[in-house]
Structures are given as C-alpha cells and as structure tokens.
Structure 1
Amino acid sequence: MAENIETVSIAGEVRSRFLRYAMSVVTGRALPDVRDGMKPVQRRILFSMFHDSNLTFDRKASKSAKIVGDVMGNYHPHGDGAIYDALVRMSQEWVMRVALVHGEGNFGSVDGDPPAAYRYTEAKLTKAAAYLLNELDQETIDFRDNYAGNKREPIMLPAQFPNLLVNGTAGIAVGMATNIPPHNLAEVLRACVFLIENPDATVALLLDRVKGPDFPLGGKIVTDRPTLRKIYEEGTGSIKVQGEWKLEELGRGRSQIVVTSIPYGVDKGALENFIGGLIEDKKLPQLLSVSNETNDKDGMRIVLELKGDADPVLVMAYLYKHTDLQKNFAYNMTALVPSADGKTMVPKDGLSLKDILQHFLDFRFETVKRRFEFELRKLRARIHILEGFRIIFNALDRAIKLIRESNGKADAAEKLKAEFALDDEQANAILDVQLYKIAKLEINKILDELREKKKRAEEIETILASKKKLWGVIKGELEKLAEEFPERRKTRMASEEDVLEFDEEAYIVKENTNVVLTRDGWIKRVGRLSSVESTRVREGDAVIAVVPGSTLDTVIFLADDGTAFTTRINEVPASSGYGEPITKFFKLADGVRIITAVTTDPRFTPADTAKGPYLFIATSAGNVLRLPLTSFRPESTKVGRRYVKLDDGDKVVMAQLVGGEESVMLASRQGYIIHFKLDDVNILSGVGKGVIGINLGDDDVCIGGVLIGGSRFDAIEVEQSNGKTARYGREARRVVGRGGKGDEVVKRLTHARIVPPPIELVNWDEIEGKPTKPKV
C-alpha cells in the first residue's frame, strides 16, 4: 500500500477542505440565487410539487409528509425537519409577502405557535408559484442530475417576477450572511419596466417605484428617504420599522390603544407577554392591561387599556423605545450572482437595488429568448409535417393508389418519399393519419393551421432578430403580471409627524426612596428605612451604603477596579427582601467589588458648580485624586465608565463624595496614618492616576481613609490585627504635607481595616423641598 500513501501539509489540507465545505454551504444551502430568489431546498420543494406531484393551485392538496418524503428521496438529501420548515415558511402569510405554498391545517401562527407535524397537514402550490414554474417544460432553463443520478432537477426556476425582492430571505453562510426584506410585487414589477425603458436609471429613480420594504405584517418605516437611498445603493444598512396604532374612545372618560400592525419577524405572543410584564412591574403606570382581540374580520388588534388621564402618545413612545414594537431590520443584500463567464454562480455582497433588478432582467431576457427558440423549433417541426400533407393533397388519388399497391408501411413510406420528395418524418406522419383526415374539409383545416403556424414562426423570428422587440415582449408580460397582482402596500412610509419623541422621565412615578448596597454587591430600593439594621441582608453580608434620592435621579456605583456604573434609581429593584446582585445589571470583571454608592439627587449632591461636587479617591498604591461628579451623573452602559487609571495590582480603597470636609486621613497596612488637606490634591478634568497621598514602604499598602471636617467626622477608626480598634482624632494627628509617610501609630501590630463611619439615613417624612438634618 506504500504507493498509495501521500505526504501532505496538514495546514494546507485543512484549508482546502474547509474552503470546499464553505463554498458548499454558501452555494448549496445558505444563499439565494439572484435569478429566481430561491435557496436549493425551496427550489426543490416547488419543483417536486409541480413536476412530480402536479400540486397546482387548482388541484387538491396532498399530505405534507408525502411532499417532504418525495423531496428528500429525490432531490434534497438532508433532514426532513429542514424540508418541512422550508415548506411551512413558504406558506406563512406573515413571513412571505406573496405566499408560494397554500397550507391546509395548522401551519403555525404569528403568535409564535409551531405548526402541526407534517402527517397532519396538507399543501399545494399557490397561483403565484405558477409564475415561477410554468415555463419549465419549454427548455427555458438547464437541468442537472440529482444527488442519486436517477432524476433531473432544474438549476434554477424560470421565474417571471423577482422573487428575491418580493419575498426576501435570510441566511447565514460561512463568513457571510444575507437578510433581504420582502417588497411589494406590483412595485417591483413597475421598477423592472422602468429599468427596461431607462437602462441608465439610478437607484434614486427606482425608489420612486419601489418605495421601500413592504412587510406582510404591515407597520411603518420611519427611516428617512436619504438613508433608504443609501441603503439601497450600498446593499447594507439598518431600516427602522414601527408597529401602527390607533386610539379608540370607549366613553365615560375611558380609552384604549389598539396596535394594528407589528414589525416584521416579531413574535406577537411574546410581545404581548412582554408588555404585560411592563404593566405588572409598574414600569408603564399609564397602562392597566393588555389583551389580544385579533380576528379574521378586524385583523390584528392588540388592545392596551389606558388610565383615564394617560397620554397615549407618551405610552407609545415608551413602547417603541423598550419593546419590539419598534425594530431595526438589518438590510444585507447578499446573493449568488453569475460569474464573469456566466458558467458558475458566485456570492456577492453589497448588491444595490439596480443590481438585483438588472440581474433578474438579464436572466428573464435569456429565459424568454429560450422560450421563443423552443416554440420556434416546435413550430418548424409542425410546419414540416403540415407541408407534407399539403404536398400530397394536390395528388391525393395518386398517393392513395401508391399506398394500396405497397407491401406494408415501410414500402408505402418509401414510395411516398420517392414520388413526392418527402422525408421519413413526413411520410410516417401521412401514413399514421386516419384516412378521413385528408378529406377535403380536413385538408382545409390543415392548410389553415399551416398558414397560422408560418405566420407565428415569422413573428417569433422577427422578435428573436431584435433585442428591442424581445425587451418589448418582456415588458408587456411584466405589466400584465402587475395587473394580475395589484395588491396595495401593507407597510406605510412614515412622515415626520409619525416619529414620537421619547422622554423616559414621563413614565417614572416620582417618589423618594433609598438605595441599599451590601458588601457582597446586592442592591435594592426601599421607600422608608428606620435603621440600617432593620433591612434584610443575606447571611454573612452587611450594608455598606444607603443613598437617598428621587426615582427620577440616578445612583452611581463605584467599583474597586476604577469603574463607575450609573443607573436610574427607578431601575434598582424595589424589594423588602435581599434585592438582586448588581451583576444582573452591570458587567463586572472577575473579583471586582462595589465599594460604595453615590446619589445624584440635587438635594444631596447639588447641581455641578465651580465648587463641586467632587469625588475623592484613594488607591491601595497610596495615590489620591479629586474628580468632578459631572460626567458620571448620566446613565452608563452595562460596562460602565472609567473614573481612575490603575496600575496592575492596584485597586481603589476609598471613594467618597466631598461635602464640607477640609482634610483627609489615610491609613496603611503597616501602621502609618497621614493627615493632609484636601486642597493639596488637584482636581482633575478627566480620568487619571492622581498624585501620591501617602508614601508607602516596601510591602505596605493603603487600606483606606476618612474625610475630616465640616459637620460630619473628626477622626479615623482603625481595626488592628489583634481585633481591637483605635481612634485617631484630627487634633491628635497634625496636618502635614501630602506625599509623606505620616505617623507610625502602631509598631508590633498592623492595621486590618478601616471601620466605616456610621451610615446616615434620611427621614423622608421631614423632607419639605429640602432635606432636614438626617438621623443616624
């Protein structure tokens, strides 16, 4: 066997095989053909139903199980599930703009209900599907062997309309994807006619005919025309779609919103459940309930019951912002197009609207040309036969005499050929015809047919000899098809008045509350808190911050890795229990802890002025800095904002809002304490590392500190390694310059941690516009 062993590069072999696999997925499964808009599985389903089972729209439907079995056994050697899914999708009117399969039975619903198993459903082709298939028997397209080599299947379907645009498609291949929205059939056909008449037409002119996507569920497109034009020129972009709604007055001051359409691809059932969750969580207090009143007569009706004084415009603006009632469709025009030599199909992205229409028209030109050539061949063959009848008609008696005197059919054929200069085909046709067919009256019919066939042949030859005439035929067929499918648009192009401004504060019930943060990173919102000890925490956990504020304001959580996370206080879960872990709302790196929280309520942190407010920050490396609170007030993303730059191994050990304090005390692990003025620390305009606050010795770290002065605290309390605590007042620790080592207050022991000052609570009952002195 040695002569059969070949040494190859494993990298090269893997690359080669993966490329073959990738191209197989791209061309054989995931991407549609620009000519008929079909993926192989869709094409094989339609071909099998039409060619093998004759399941046309005017016939009785057949079991889906049989259709799936025929397709899988003859053309598509993949799973039955994939075939049935494709069959179901082509029948769903909320997916396809022009359905190609008529389904009988449970084929799913727009509410997300799955279809019944294929043994329970039946299907046949729709009338529209006929226009993709009915030229198959006219040699308009090429065929190839199926996977087993025992049948022939079409390479593409002889589509009479641009199915790729009309029904759209979605697919993910290797290294590329496609996502094409559906469009209105009549609009697309009119654009094709316009492009035939004006080959140099721009995308902007074509968009006068094709207004934009036309989704089967309706909705309205709020993307402006310049953006749409750019998307259709570049073949990629995002199209914003909204559901439509109307207000219904019920009398006695009651009213309701009725959602009459939803964006393409949205699960209506899931949408209703989500809106119900918003109502239950009181995130949309203007709504009382949501119900589904959709029916065949009135169409889609998602009913939202309003409170008496609710503004429906505000409600819809919130729903557009927070639910799938507004959705961006990621337009990605990628398809298989003919290669430069026209022999193969290659993937191409960034196709413009004009590219798609031109590829279809080029394909249609070749298809119609081949159809006429096929018809002409058939006509010429028939004319040839009829010419034989015409020849013998003038000597019919002589022909009959020759046939009588012959010895069998073969001899008669030879005598006719010799006598009348006929060929085999004509002679055999004459001998096969019944005698009465060549009587005088029947011969007249034959001669009339001969004249008609010659006339038609001449017409076709004239058409084939002129591209202009051939394009004229194509144009006429497209116009006729547009008349047969004149359905109006379902998706409306929105005006400026349709765009609702979203103001999040309009949906929040304003109330005073407290945000509780624990050492283990659990957060919750409580309205009244008599004492820190009265709130529930998990075993082994402890409260490290309680910050007051209005639900309209935000709270800032500061992590020890130098990241700040800001969210609306209203978004913090209200709970009488433990609350929720903060990692549910923000993305914290491994091992990172939240060390404190700061409110942005202007009653406690005044609006930003030249004098503050500021954050004072100290790190384990002994660096300190002051930073304006301004940039941290607005909501952040889940990943937060950086508020200090840290070296490897460094972390924040103190972050505190500066009030009327004058100085700061910092403590180190090895027993040092330093006391210096806050004014010694510069205020940074942006994020930085700061300056040295305490000069640390080898293996020493800063463990934290306390702001001193004002009406708050005048000492730092430190727990030592022996478990005892020591208190160092401002008078005992003199103020020195920033950046020194400070005083060594313990020698044989070390500092374990800073004992946090007691948490101050606000008595909301005493608040009248401005908070009174909080209770401890």
Structure 2
Amino acid sequence: MDPEASVQFVPISDETRRRYLNYALSVITSRALPDVRDGLKPVQRRILYVMFDRLRLTADAKTRKCAKICGDTTGSFHPHGEVAVYEALVRLAQDFTLRYPLVEGQGNFGSIMGLRAAASRYTEARLTRLSENLMNELRYDTVDMRLTYDAADQEPVILPARFPALLVNGSSGIAVGMATSMPPHNLVEVMKAAVHLVENPDASVAQLMRFVKGPDFPLGGRIVTDRAQLREMYETGRGSIRMRGEWKFDEEGRRRIENRIIIHSIPYGAATGPLMTEIGELIAARRLPQLESVNDETNEENGLRIAIELKPGADAEAVMAYLYKHTSLEQNFSYNATCLVPGENGQTVPRVLSLKELLQYFLDFRFITVQRRLQYQLEQLRRRIHILEGFAIIFDGLDRALKIIRASSGKRDAAEKLMAEFPLDELQTDAILELQLYRISKLEIGRIREELAEKQAEAARIEATLKSKAKMWKLITTELEQLATDFADGRRSELGSAEEVVEYDPQAYIVRENTNVVVTRDGWIKRVGQLSSVSRTRVREGDAVLTVVPGSTLDHVVFFCSDGIAYTLPIDQIPVSSGYGEPLAKRAKMQDGVSVIAALTTDSRFVPDLESTGDGVGLTLLTATRSGNIMRLPFESFRTAST
C-alpha cells in the first residue's frame, strides 16, 4: 500500500485556523472561564470534588497533604500540571483572595505581604463548611456526570451549588480573545437580592442594588466609584471600580496622635510588602518630605496595620492624597462579567451578564437542582414505603408467615411460598426475609407502622411541592435565607463616592532647598547640596564637568542641546547623587549623538527680574549659532517642564 494514499493534503492556513479554533474553544470552555451556575473553573471544581467525594476531607475531617490532593486531581480528573492545580488550591484557601475561602489550609499558604505559599509537600488542607454547600447534594443525583479525560472514572459536569459562588467569591481568568474579572460580594446581600428576584421577577438592576450595594473585598478598602457608575457596570457587565485603602490617626487611649497614620485596609490585589517598598522609596528619594518613616505592624491580633510617622506639622490629608496617587494604595478593578452559561445540547457558551442575569441563571439552576433532589428523595421514599407496606401485610398474618418460613427448604423456597400466599413482590419478600427476629416484637411492629405513616406523609408533602411552582420557589428562598443566616457576616468594604478623591498640587509636596545641578560634557546630570570644589565631584572616566547650575528645588533647569532643542526639567526630579548621576537622555527624548552645550537656571535669584528690561517684552534669551544666526526668545517659555 502506498503510504501517501492515506495522507490528506490541505492548505496549512486552513489546518492552522482549525486547530487554533479548537484550542481557543478548549481554553474558553474547559480552563479559563467560570460557569455561572457554580461559579467555578474546571480545575477548582475538580479539586473540590476530589476533596469531598474521594478523600472525604470535610470540615470536621483531619487535614491531608496538598501533594495528595493535587496528585489525585491530576491523576484522575485534570489532565494538566500539578503546579497549576496547587496554585488553584492555594487560592481557594487564601482569606485575602477569596471573600469566603472554600478550603481551610494548614501551613504556609502565602500571606498578605505578597509571599508565596510553601511547597505542596509541606501544606495540608480540608474543606470549609461553606464549600460543603457546593457539593452536599451530589448524593441526590442532582447533576449530570460525565467520563473523565481517560474514561476511567466519572466527574460532575457542574456542582449543585446552594449559593451563587461567582458573585460571592468572584473569579478571574484570561481565555483566547476574552477574559473574566469578577469581584467578590457580601453573601448576605447577594442572597437577599436573589430572594427579591424570586419574589419580583421584573425587578431592575437598580432595585437589586438596594441589596447588592457593591463589591465587598476580603481586605476591606473603600470604593470611591459613584453609584451611577456602579449601576451602569451591573447593567452592562463591564466597568471599572476605583478602590483605595483606609486610614486613621493612631490613638493612645483616648488621645489622637496627629503625626502617626495607621493604614488598616488596602485595595483588593495589593500586598503590604510591595506597598511598604513603594512608600520606602518615596521616603528615600525625598519625594514626600512630610514622611518620616513607615513600619508594617500587621499581625494576627491587630490585623492589617501599616504605621506611617509624619514630620511635625505635616498635613495628613495631603500626605494620603499623594500616597493614593503614587502607590498601590489606590487601584482600579476592571469589572468583566464574562462567564459560561448553559447553551444547546448541554454545551456552555460565553456571555457577558448583568447583575440580574447572573442571579437569574443561578436561580434557574437552583430550581432544577432542587427539583432533581426532591424527585430522588421521592423515589427513595416510595421504595421504602413499598417495603414498609410489605411489612404491614406480613404483620397482619404473622403466624401464617412464620409457619411458611419454617416449612421452607431455603430462602428461595420461602420467598416463592410467601409471594404465593400474600400479595407481595420480590423486593418486599427479600426485605421480609432479611428482617431480624427482634423486629417482629409488638413494640417494633408499632414503630414500623409509625415509620410507614411518616414516610407516606413526607412523600405526599414532596409530591405537593413538586406539583406547585410557588411551593418550589418558597422552599428555595427558605433555604437561601437559612444559608445566609448560617454564614452571615458584616460588610468589609466601605462605600464612598468619586467626590472623595482629592486633587492636589504636586508643587505642595516639594520642600524648598538650595541645591546645585552638575552637568557633564557627556550629558550626565546630578543634584548636590553644597559643592566646595568642582574638581572633586565624581564624573565618569573621560568625562568632565561642563557647568554647575545653582537653584532651588522649586525651580527648573533648561538644558540646551547641539540639535537646537532645549529641555526643561524640574530641579527636584534630578537625582541626588554622590556618584555619576544619570544621563539626561533618560529623562528627555534626545536623539542619538546629541550633546548638551549649555544649561541655565530659572531661579529668579540668578536671572534678571522680568520687569527690569523696560521694553514691555519681558525677559528674553539671546541665542547665537555657529553659522552666525541669532534669535531672541521669551524666557518665560522655558519655565515650563518639557522633555
């Protein structure tokens, strides 16, 4: 057989396009985006399922090594690397990442300082009580199962969540051509909104926002986005949330310490370690002279606590305005409610959802889940009632039944004779023959008859519930309210408005200091305080000092270059250095090969007064070129920074 006969030739562009689309679809539906029904990505779902169903790591169980959890997950359910699985597991356990952690970790699972978790062989985990509410109803056949990637086992397509986890804990993920970025919310607020939507199906997003007031982040913080913007965000599924850390003055007893600020919450996604570094760099570079020092006093007893010492007389409001502007103490959270929703033929498709749609998809799923749970319970009740009815039949003719059993040659013979004598089927007969002798006492017979009556009443109640949508929704809302009560806690993130954002003048943060700017022939610049001798200042080998420009930190230096362009820099932005400094080209957009030929200060102590010229034009700068051309330029135009 010719080997080429089985080869199909196709254009490489077509094949590449087909394979990339398959890859994109796989990433979108099977890896990166959460499902609106249980709020989980596949890797998270599989981790929780392994912990609940295979390892039995419930909230009251002993913790197990995370290496075991990750190994079982990748070995049986998740065809990807263990590193990615462990990262997902760690995130599920971090109380500074998830508003309501789904895993309880033991060991180093990372910290708010930005430190990474320890290796999986050192850490242990088990489920939290809340996460059990994502899976408790699996035993009632509430969701469909499917084959695992190697067809050796089965896994749930979705978890029978009893709360809208996507809204409650949020999610983030980057797929191909789309992404999701959902913030967490308060459980009680979300549950109240869900109940309100059940009772008022035509409720608008604005009405639902009477309950869901805005995101509720694990570390608190203050949301300074206007309510109108939040409403638009919840209506369209896209938007931006501006959030900032909160601060207060430190206290000793009842006395307020005016020069000591305590930051007690930070934006979602920020970490105290990098924030401390940012503030420390501002102090070292003297960008914010009002700051004296910063210390991280965060611990388990005090919670998040960053202490900032201010210099006497410093304006705390102005200091915080600067920190909000120049550090991660204020951030924007990009809201993108893209998630997977049920489509045709059991497939899921990505959609951007409004707040109402997020709740409605969950409620529709919850209705189906509760319906399947009740149907399963009803089937089990009917099976038990059927057996109990068999017991009741045999109890009415107990002496006759015992005589038949004694005269039988074995279990099969006894079963056939009992079914011939009494109106029993095989299931009932097997249960009767398995009945222990003590169960035929008068007391036990009475208990069995009571159980039959109870089971019949319970079955009638479930049948009535299944036949009535009103009763179904009443049951669902009751369960939602009960879960909200069981896990209720207060809101952590405060709600503010955009009006709280204080605009500040950058010049207000510059302390006036006399200084000197050293400019070298090769275009290196630095700032020094006192300069006793030009010959003693450090320059690179082969370089030399071109000029020294005096001035104050509130003024500018104008650098004139060989290409005829002048660059104006604020003196306070020129680095203080006892070394070489840095090249001007780092701060100005200079062309290659261009050199500095002169520099001039704008400090009024070293240039003539504007009104002293007397010609009405104001102070001017006279320039001359090598070819003999001269020009007169208004000096005022050089006082504005330009690079």
- Please report the TM-score for the alignment, with normalisation by the length of structure 1: 0.75
Q: Is 1:308 the counterpart of 2:312 in the alignment?
A: yes
In the TM superposition, what whole-angstrom CA distance separates every residue of 1:193-221 from its partner, at most 9, and x where no partner exists? 11111112222222221111111111111
Q: From 242, 255, 277, give the equivalent of 2:281.
A: 277
The answer to which of 520-529 and 230-239 deviates more is 520-529
Map of 2:351 onto structure 1: 348
In the TM superposition, what whole-angstrom CA distance separates every residue of 1:128-163 from its partner, at most 9, and x where no partner exists? 111111111111111111222222111111111111
Map of 1:263 onto structure 2: 267
Question: 1:348 is aligned with what amino acid?
Answer: R
Q: Is 1:27 the counterpart of 2:60 in the alignment?
A: no
Contact 2:58 / 2:126 at 8 angstroms: preserved in 1? yes
CA distance, structure 2, for counterparts of residue 520 and residue 416 of structure 1: 111
Map of 1:690 onto structure 2: none
1:550-565 to 2 correspondence within 5 Å?
A: 550-555=552-557
CA distance, structure 2, for counterparts of residue 278 and residue 213 of structure 1: 31
Per the alignment, do residues 146 and 531 of structure 1 end up closer, same or farther by CA in structure 2, a change over 3 Å counting?
same
Contact 1:32 / 1:169 at 8 angstroms: preserved in 2? yes
CA distance, structure 2, for counterparts of residue 619 and residue 332 of structure 1: 58
DSSP-derived class of the 2:277 partner: helix
CA distance, structure 1, for counterparts of residue 136 and residue 618 of structure 2: 78
Contact 1:321 / 1:502 at 8 angstroms: preserved in 2? no
DSSP-derived class of the 1:215 partner: coil
Question: 1:158 is aligned with what amino acid?
Answer: P
Map of 1:753 onto structure 2: none
DSSP-derived class of the 1:135 partner: helix
In the TM superposition, what whole-angstrom CA distance separates every residue of 1:602-636 from its partner, at most 9, and x where no partner exists? 77598999947789999999999999888886556
Map of 1:358 onto structure 2: 360
Map of 1:155 onto structure 2: 157
Map of 2:460 onto structure 1: 458
Contact 1:74 / 1:146 at 8 angstroms: preserved in 2? yes
Map of 1:40 onto structure 2: 42
1:397-412 to 2 correspondence within 5 Å?
A: 397-412=399-414
In the TM superposition, what whole-angstrom CA distance separates every residue of 1:15-37 from its partner, at most 9, and x where no partner exists? 11111111212222211111111
CA distance, structure 1, for counterparts of residue 637 and residue 207 of structure 2: 47
1:130-145 to 2 correspondence within 5 Å?
A: 130-145=132-147
- Superposition deviation, residue 183 in structure 1: 1.2
RMSD: 3.2
The answer to which of 243-252 and 41-50 deviates more is 243-252
The answer to which of 90-99 and 610-619 deviates more is 610-619
Map of 2:86 onto structure 1: 84
Question: 2:301 is aligned with what amino acid?
Answer: K
The answer to which of 273-282 and 128-137 deviates more is 273-282
Higher relative contact order (CA closer than 8 Å, sequence separation 6+): 2
In the TM superposition, what whole-angstrom CA distance separates every residue of 1:208-248 from its partner, at most 9, and x where no partner exists? 21111111111111111111112222222221111111112
DSSP-derived class of the 1:132 partner: coil
CA distance, structure 2, for counterparts of residue 425 and residue 553 of structure 1: 97
Q: From 293, 297, 310, give the equivalent of 1:293.
A: 297
- Superposition deviation, residue 298 in structure 1: 1.8
In the TM superposition, what whole-angstrom CA distance separates every residue of 1:703-750 from its partner, at most 9, and x where no partner exists? xxxxxxxxxxxxxxxxxxxxxxxxxxxxxxxxxxxxxxxxxxxxxxxx
State the number of aligned residues: 635
Contact 1:599 / 1:605 at 8 angstroms: preserved in 2? no
Map of 1:437 onto structure 2: 439
Q: From 9, 12, 22, give the equivalent of 2:11.
A: 9
Map of 1:723 onto structure 2: none
CA distance, structure 2, for counterparts of residue 520 and residue 286 of structure 1: 35
Contact 2:250 / 2:256 at 8 angstroms: preserved in 1? no
In the TM superposition, what whole-angstrom CA distance separates every residue of 1:497-532 from its partner, at most 9, and x where no partner exists? 753333322221113444444454433234566897
Question: 2:302 is aligned with what amino acid?
Answer: D
Per the alignment, do residues 441 and 510 of structure 1 end up closer, same or farther by CA in structure 2, a change over 3 Å counting?
same
Contact 1:556 / 1:567 at 8 angstroms: preserved in 2? yes
- Superposition deviation, residue 423 in structure 1: 1.9
- Superposition deviation, residue 422 in structure 1: 2.1
In the TM superposition, what whole-angstrom CA distance separates every residue of 1:473-506 from its partner, at most 9, and x where no partner exists? 1111111111111200111112577533333222
- Superposition deviation, residue 371 in structure 1: 0.8
Map of 1:372 onto structure 2: 374
The answer to which of 494-503 and 129-138 deviates more is 494-503
Question: 1:420 is aligned with what amino acid?
Answer: F
1:614-653 to 2 correspondence within 5 Å?
A: none
Question: 2:314 is aligned with what amino acid?
Answer: A
Contact 1:249 / 1:255 at 8 angstroms: preserved in 2? no
Question: 2:18 is aligned with what amino acid?
Answer: S
CA distance, structure 2, for counterparts of residue 390 and residue 488 of structure 1: 54
DSSP-derived class of the 2:150 partner: coil
Q: Is 1:319 the counterpart of 2:323 in the alignment?
A: yes
Map of 1:55 onto structure 2: 57
The answer to which of 596-605 and 375-384 deviates more is 596-605
CA distance, structure 1, for counterparts of residue 422 and residue 301 of structure 2: 72
- Superposition deviation, residue 281 in structure 1: 2.0
CA distance, structure 2, for counterparts of residue 178 and residue 48 of structure 1: 25
1:735-754 to 2 correspondence within 5 Å?
A: none
Contact 1:254 / 1:307 at 8 angstroms: preserved in 2? no
Unaligned runs of 5+ in 1: 641-776
Contact 1:253 / 1:308 at 8 angstroms: preserved in 2? no
- Superposition deviation, residue 424 in structure 1: 1.6
Q: From 557, 562, 572, give the equivalent of 1:570.
A: 572
Q: From 330, 333, 337, give the equivalent of 1:329.
A: 333
Question: 2:277 is aligned with what amino acid?
Answer: N
CA distance, structure 2, for counterparts of residue 559 and residue 156 of structure 1: 67
DSSP-derived class of the 2:40 partner: coil
CA distance, structure 2, for counterparts of residue 634 and residue 298 of structure 1: 47
DSSP-derived class of the 1:164 partner: helix
CA distance, structure 1, for counterparts of residue 541 and residue 128 of structure 2: 66
Q: Is 1:238 the counterpart of 2:257 in the alignment?
A: no
- Superposition deviation, residue 65 in structure 1: 1.9
The answer to which of 250-259 and 198-207 deviates more is 250-259
DSSP-derived class of the 2:212 partner: coil
Larger Rg: 1
- Superposition deviation, residue 56 in structure 1: 0.7
CA distance, structure 1, for counterparts of residue 625 and residue 26 of structure 2: 57
1:51-200 to 2 correspondence within 5 Å?
A: 51-200=53-202
Per the alignment, do residues 252 and 152 of structure 1 end up closer, same or farther by CA in structure 2, a change over 3 Å counting?
closer
Contact 1:33 / 1:336 at 8 angstroms: preserved in 2? yes
Per the alignment, do residues 569 and 199 of structure 1 end up closer, same or farther by CA in structure 2, a change over 3 Å counting?
farther
CA distance, structure 2, for counterparts of residue 616 and residue 144 of structure 1: 83
Map of 1:487 onto structure 2: 489
Question: 1:346 is aligned with what amino acid?
Answer: V
DSSP-derived class of the 2:250 partner: strand
- Superposition deviation, residue 302 in structure 1: 0.8
**Same amino acid, percent of matched pairs:** 57
CA distance, structure 2, for counterparts of residue 567 and residue 120 of structure 1: 53
Contact 2:65 / 2:122 at 8 angstroms: preserved in 1? yes
Question: 1:86 is aligned with what amino acid?
Answer: A
Map of 2:475 onto structure 1: 473
Contact 1:557 / 1:565 at 8 angstroms: preserved in 2? yes
1:647-686 to 2 correspondence within 5 Å?
A: none
In the TM superposition, what whole-angstrom CA distance separates every residue of 1:637-691 from its partner, at most 9, and x where no partner exists? xxx5xxxxxxxxxxxxxxxxxxxxxxxxxxxxxxxxxxxxxxxxxxxxxxxxxxx
Contact 2:559 / 2:568 at 8 angstroms: preserved in 1? yes
- Superposition deviation, residue 399 in structure 1: 2.5
1:526-541 to 2 correspondence within 5 Å?
A: 526-527=528-529, 536-541=538-543
Question: 2:350 is aligned with what amino acid?
Answer: P
